[in-house]
Structure 1
Amino acid sequence: MDFQHYFELTQLYGNYASAVDAADWDAWTEFFIEDCMYKLQPRENHERGFPLATLAFDSKGMLKDRVYGIRETLFHDPYYQRHVIGPPVVRKVDADGRIHSEANYAVFRTRLSKESTVFNVGRTLDEVVSTPQGLKFASRLVIYDSEMIPNSLIYPI
């Protein structure tokens, strides 16, 4: 992978985190192709080959449905998220240009009038494809390290 393509990949990761941190949910869905997969899974399940996931969406339409839920149907104490993303590591590039990459992440949560806390930590395993609009996620598997998560996971990681 040459420098220009790697730079585009790092921009994808950075822009993704920026959109989620800004609660720009319409932008969040646009980081994915139509026939995508987004899954949030505990590390133990992933390592043991168990399919159970906390969240699992297998199309951009399902991501848009989640956005509708965030805006219209889910009631929760408001909070801010802040992602710290490690540099993506390219594991493989297929002959068709599909990039297999991963990155570590930490998400901090700040509730109004309270201190910031570590919310979620783990890594993403991603498949990224080139589109006329730039690089997009075909698959994003978010593997969080702790078996324990807060009682509700509202926003995407």
Structure 2
Amino acid sequence: MKADNYLKLTQFYQNYAAMVDQENWDAWLDMFSEDCVYKVQARENYERNLPMAALSLTSKGMLKDRIYGITETIFHDPYHQLHLVSSPLILSESDDGIIESQANYTVFRTKNNGIAEVYNVGRYLDHLRLTEQGIQIKSRLCIFDNEMILNSLIYPI
């Protein structure tokens, strides 16, 4: 991979975290291709090749529905998220512009009472498409290390 592509990829991961943390859902949606897959799955299920996932969305339309639910219909105890994302590791790159990469993440959650806690820890396993407009997520698998997610999964990881 060219050094400039690696820098773009690193910036892409940091932009992703910022868009989720800032609840900039329009920009977050723009990071995905129309035919995307987005899953949040426990490491044990991933390693055993079991299909059960905490969240499984298989198109950009499903992502839009999820954002509608978050902003318009789901009632929950308000909280803020903060993502820390490692530098990406490039696993492969194809001639047609598909990059397979991974990065570790930690998500902290702070409720309005001011107590911050580690909410989710794991890794992103991605298939990304390089386009003239930038990088788009073709597939993002968020593989979390713990066996369960604290309370409920509202916001994307």
The answer (yes or no) to whether the contact 1:12–1:136 under 8 Å persists in 2 is no
Count of residue pairs the alignment pairs up: 157
TM-score (norm 2): 0.98
Q: Look up the match of 2:67.
A: 67
Q: CA RMSD in A?
A: 0.7
Q: Could you state the TM-score of these two structures normalised by the residue count of structure 1?
A: 0.98
1:107-127 CA-to-partner distances (Å, cap 9, x unmatched) read 000001222100000001000
Measured in 1, the distance between the counterparts of 2:37 and 2:105 equals 19
1:80-139 CA deviation, whole Å, 9 max, x = no partner? 000000000000001212100000000000001222100000001000101232011100
Q: Deviations over 1:50-90 (max 9, x none)?
A: 01111001110100000000011100011000000000000
Q: 3-state DSSP class of the match of 1:146?
A: coil
Amino acid at match of 1:14: Q
Detail structure 1 runs of 4+ shifted over 6 Å in the superposition: none
SS at 2:108 equivalent: strand
Query: 3-state DSSP class of the match of 1:26?
Result: helix
**Structure 2 matches for 1:7-86, cutoff 5 A?**
7-86=7-86
Between stretches 109-118 and 41-50, larger displacement belongs to 109-118
The residue that corresponds to 1:126 in the other structure is 126
User: How high is the sequence identity, in percent, across the aligned residues?
Assistant: 55
- Contact (CA 8 Å) 2:97, 2:131: kept in 1 or not? no
